[in-house]
């Protein structure tokens, strides 16, 4: 059984990892850009090369693993929209039915 103190230490470790990993990745990319800039003699071209590489990587990850998930999520949201629209129309119909004006008999 874990104690509250152990849970706090796990949480602190997760926070440190969550902060350190992106920082390390960012520093790696900056070092790569600076190194390429030293080789090429310009900062613009390495920034473009690294930026295009990560844009290509993001596109590949999206096409390979996220496209089907996004399509399924889009379909689910469409179903929720349709059900919500139908329920709204039913409520409006019920309100019109219950609160319609009745002409007094003459």
Q: What is the pLDDT of residues 6-64, one digit of tens each?
A: 677 888 888 999 999 999 999 999 999 999 999 999 999 999 999 999 999 999 988 88
Q: pLDDT at position 96, please?
A: 86
Q: Cβ contacts of residue 43 below 8 Å, gap of 6+?
A: 33, 37
Distance CA 28, CA 32 (A): 6
Q: Cβ contacts of residue 9 below 8 Å, gap of 6+?
A: none
pLDDT in tens, 77-93: 999 999 999 999 999 88
Say if residue 104's pLDDT is above 90: no
Say if residue 74's pLDDT is above 70: yes
pTM: 0.53
Max Cα-Cα span within the chain: 97
């Amino acid at each position: 059984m874990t104690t509250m103190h152990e849970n706090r230490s796990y949480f602190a470790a997760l926070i440190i990892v969550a902060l350190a990993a992106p920082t390390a990745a960012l520093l790696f990319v900056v070092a790569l850009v600076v190194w390429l800039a030293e080789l090429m003699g310009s900062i613009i071209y390495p920034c473009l090369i690294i930026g295009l590489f990560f844009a290509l990587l993001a596109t590949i990850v999206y096409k390979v693993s996220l496209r089907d998930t996004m399509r399924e999520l889009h379909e689910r949201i469409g179903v929720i929209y349709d059900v919500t629209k139908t329920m709204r129309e039913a409520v409006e119909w019920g309100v019109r039915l219950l609160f319609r004006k009745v002409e007094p008999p003459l």
